[in-house]
Amino acid sequence: MRSASEYIRGLPKAELHVHIEGTLEPELAFQLAKKHGLILPHATVEELRQAYRFANLQSFLDIYYAGAAVLRDADDFHALTRAYLRNAHAQGVVHAEIFFDPQTHAARGIELGTVLDGLCRARADAERQSGITCSFILCFLRHLSADEAMRTLEEALPHKEAIAAVGLDSSEIGHPPVKFRAVFARARSEGLLAVAHAGEEGPPSYIYEALDILKVRRVDHGVRCEEDPQLLERLARERVPLTVCPLSNVKLNVFRRIEEHNLKRLLDRGVCVTVNSDDPAYFGGYVLENYLAVERGLGLSRDDLTLLARNSIEASFLADSAKQRWFAAIADYARSPGR
């Protein structure tokens, strides 16, 4: 019988909640800092890694935005995205839907086209070399104004063929989804799909707003849905996907320990839960490590793990024909000898 790690690695799966800026490993950060003549606030890779201790979402965001300062040109974004896609492919990810934050980079004078140039070249390289596919989700920073988000959307529209959807991230508390009603309406009118972070630190009401006002296709995080039985029942009935990030939730104190995470309860209630890595360079693991954490911490069975992989394909923005191919591949894998 294969070990849990071997079984998870071999499972075809999608990753639907990963911030490309959050895949910046300290080693690459130092390489890019040297390239651009920048001085990082830590002397060594290990010192920087040791600084990744967070009390809450805001304390993480402070160091996250500082780290992104080393990303300066299209080649930097290409290197960052290729490194993530290589790692994801090695862990059994067959498709990724990747967040990026143009406002983070615009504040440093970097144009959106520069960011997309690097991302799209890396996507083409990865698909040609390994067959992994990916799409990109432009996120608005919710701690900034809705007017700034609208300007970012306007700047993005000439590039919309390279963008699958818009999203909403950054500090959740005090920035409800309704704040971005007009921005998301405009994005949807331009043919872009929508997702949003809600119900990580924010209350269940933020999940309702994301669904009913922003018209999102899936909810990023969403773990606080359990506090509202009617909402929980709706999510299960309507098969609204949640892109859950277990190691992130523990690192940011949404749950004290992985053993307290509600992923298994949500799965058992019929919610379309998926497992993702969020900002893996900061939170201690990519998608394989997140699957392993819940497998060990919550006692997940092989059938549970297989269902999570299937959910990830169902929740993706892949075409129906591609979904059916991956459903069949997952079923074949789960039936294979030595599972």
Are 156 and 138 in contact by the 8 Å Cβ rule? The answer is yes
Phi-psi category of 81—alpha, beta or left, where left has phi over 0 and alpha has psi -120 to 50?
A: alpha
Q: Say which of 200, 201, 209, 295 is annotated catalytic.
A: 200
Name the pairing type of β-strands 242-244 and 218-221.
Answer: parallel
Cross-strand pairs, 133: 95
- 233: annotated active-site residue: no
Tokens, residue 111: 């144009």
Query: Using alpha carbons only, how large is the chain's radius of gyration in Å?
Result: 19
Phi–psi pair at 125, nearest 5 degrees = -60, -45
Are 16 and 274 in contact by the 8 Å Cβ rule? The answer is yes
Are 66 and 33 in contact by the 8 Å Cβ rule? The answer is no
Phi–psi pair at 168, nearest 5 degrees = -140, 120
Secondary structure element (H or E) that encloses residue 93, with its range: strand 93-100
Secondary structure element (H or E) that encloses residue 301, with its range: none
d(CA 339, CA 336): 6
Tokens, residue 221: 């995080």
Question: In the β-sheet with 193-198, what is the strand arrangement from edge to edge?
Answer: 13-19, 93-100, 133-141, 165-169, 193-198, 218-221, 242-244, 273-275
d(CA 244, CA 200): 9
Catalytic residues: 200
